[in-house]
Amino acid sequence: MRCTTLLSVMALLAVGSLAFPKQPANPIMAIVTTPLSDCYGISPPPAGLDIYGGCIESYYVRWLEASGIRVVPLIWNASWTERKAVLDSVNGALFPGGGLGGEAFTEYLGNATQIFNYATERNALGDAFFLWGTCQGFQVLSVIALQDASLLKCIYHGTDPSMLPLDFTSYQPASVMFGQRAESPINIVGILQNQNSTLNWHSCGINPSDLNADFNSIFKVISTNVDINGLPFISSYESTTNNFFATQFHPERILYEFSDDIIGHTPDDILVSHYLSMFIAARLKLNNHSYPTATDANNAAVENFPVYNLGWGSELYWISGN
């Protein structure tokens, strides 16, 4: 037996027998898959694959993994029993960006609401299940909280893409995401305020003047922005009662994507991106969910699914259905 083979047998035995590395010190996060209809808009699927679980853009995976977070897919429309089994095993879930519209958005919203309600119940029980939304994910969390999808308005111009600084609200100093921990030792708040450090890639948004009591009972707005016509939109918020956070901008693409010259890759842009995935890692550690065994965790990992290079830093994982 060659020594490489012997070593891999030993590694397999070790994975099977040790419940290590343990959660939540080594957290695991679920990424909600992008529905197949939207995946086609990114790239036609390779022939011969089971693609019915949808897809995941690699930026999210790489960004989380860069801060020590393991990633598993959560099929957006699997039965609730199947999705709950995943949610009971991971420390949080991420709703990514996307371009869903019409009936497809409504169906996604219905399935997302079940996850939102689950996470809300877990937080009420004190286990701090973590939720994150980026761009469309931010918009999904917003309309669930608003209880009114008509308040998401696709009327913004010059924001797809654009790099913008954030206009912080008076809540910022008290914020968990962009409060004291973002002021030192590295002044992330200063970078965000003074530099074009956040990547916007959207034409829909939530106008701060449309917020209602339902939204305000869950979320506090940390920052806003305006489009080229001066029309304001919310760019970040967090919950004061639940472990929920969201940004309209895309922190995950900064590190990896080179498809457009507008995307910033300065050291300070990268500091902001990395600050946020480190922040997510810290917030995931507040939840004590765990896979039953290390083997279960390894079997669920996104690395078990095929990934295809689309160029310019973009790759797509195709997730098999169920």
Binding site for ligand NAG (CB under 6 A): 35-36, 52, 77-79, 107, 110-111, 114, 125-127, 162, 195-196, 288
Q: Beta strand 244-247 with 232-239: parallel, antiparallel or unpaired?
A: antiparallel
135 has catalytic annotation = yes
Closer Cβ to ligand NAG, 140 or 211, answer by number: 140
Instruction: Choose the catalytic residue: 135, 202, 204, 274.
Output: 135
Instruction: Please tell me the distance from the alpha carbon of residue 44 to that of residue 145, in angstroms, as a whole number.
Output: 33
Q: What is the DSSP string of 120-146?
A: HHHHHTT---EEEEETHHHHHHHHHHH
Q: Which residue is nearest to ligand NAG (CB)?
A: 110
Two tokens, residue 276: 């946020």
* Shortest distance, position 36 Cβ to ligand NAG, whole Å: 4
* Shortest distance, position 33 Cβ to ligand NAG, whole Å: 9
| 109: number of Cβ within 10 Å | 17
Closer Cβ to ligand NAG, 63 or 291, answer by number: 291
Closer Cβ to ligand NAG, 212 or 288, answer by number: 288
Closer Cβ to ligand NAG, 38 or 238, answer by number: 38
* Shortest distance, position 65 Cβ to ligand NAG, whole Å: 25
For residue 17, report the phi and psi dihedrals to the nearest 5 degrees. -100, -20
User: Is the preceding omega at residue 161 within 30 degrees of 0, hence cis?
Assistant: yes
250 has catalytic annotation = yes
* Shortest distance, position 203 Cβ to ligand NAG, whole Å: 16
Q: Cβ(96)–Cβ(29) under 8 Å?
A: no
Which positions are annotated as active-site residues? 135, 250
